[in-house]
Amino acid sequence: MKKLHSLPQLRKAIYDHKKKGNMVILANGCFDLIHVGHIRYLKESKNLGDVLVVALNSDASVHKLKGKGRPILGEKDRAEILGSFSFVDYITIFEEDNVENILLVLKPHVHAKGSDYTPKTVPEKKTVQSYGGKIIIAGGPKIKSTSELIKEIAAKICISKTSESLQ
């Protein structure tokens, strides 16, 4: 996939974009099951600048953050889905608990976070401030999380199986 890059590869590409005067935005997340909240977050993030980099949590990172049974989709599948969106320019996969290292390497102009954060609760706040970047909350009000969506799907499957067994 052309949009997926290692951090060293991405560093060079982002350097070139900055040299041309392009504004670089970094968004990040697990993106385990893509839903409308993800789309709104990423589209709004892209609208903040010229180049959108998505830092995608690795499978191990998602499992550590979300627990048993997660991720639903593997990192390569999640990266391919994200890469199919025209508003996503680059993707990199990371293992760490947060994107501080990526921020320090790429120094994007804006670090966009979803609406489950506030400017004060962004874990990488001090890192972004250290190099003069901005934090922007994007995507509008939180509608639903992937965890909630998984619970709804599981409940619907259970109801469906119960209905079938009663017939």
Q: Which domain CATH number covers 110? A: 3.40.50.620
129 within a domain of the structure (yes/no) = yes
1 within a domain of the structure (yes/no) = no
pLDDT of residue 28: 98
Q: Which domain holds residue 28?
A: 7-141
160 within a domain of the structure (yes/no) = no
pLDDT of residue 162: 63
pLDDT of residue 157: 79
Angstrom CA distances, 50 to 17, 70, 128, 161, stand at 9, 32, 19, 48
pLDDT of residue 49: 98
164 within a domain of the structure (yes/no) = no
Hey, which residues does 91 pair with through a beta bridge?
Answer: 4, 54
Sequential pLDDT tens for the chain (167 residues): 699 999 999 999 999 999 999 999 999 999 998 989 999 999 999 999 999 999 999 999 999 999 998 999 999 999 999 999 999 999 999 999 999 999 999 999 999 999 989 999 999 999 999 999 999 999 877 666 777 777 777 777 776 666 565 55
Q: Domain tally for the chain?
A: 1
Q: CA-to-CA distance for 12 and 133, rounded, in angstroms?
A: 19
155 within a domain of the structure (yes/no) = no
pLDDT of residue 78: 98
pLDDT of residue 149: 75
CA angle 61, 154, 85 (to 5 degrees): 55
Instruction: Return the percent helix, strand and coil in the chain, to nearest 5.
Output: 45, 15, 40
159 within a domain of the structure (yes/no) = no
Q: Considering the entire predicted model, what is its pTM?
A: 0.88
pLDDT of residue 166: 57
50 within a domain of the structure (yes/no) = yes
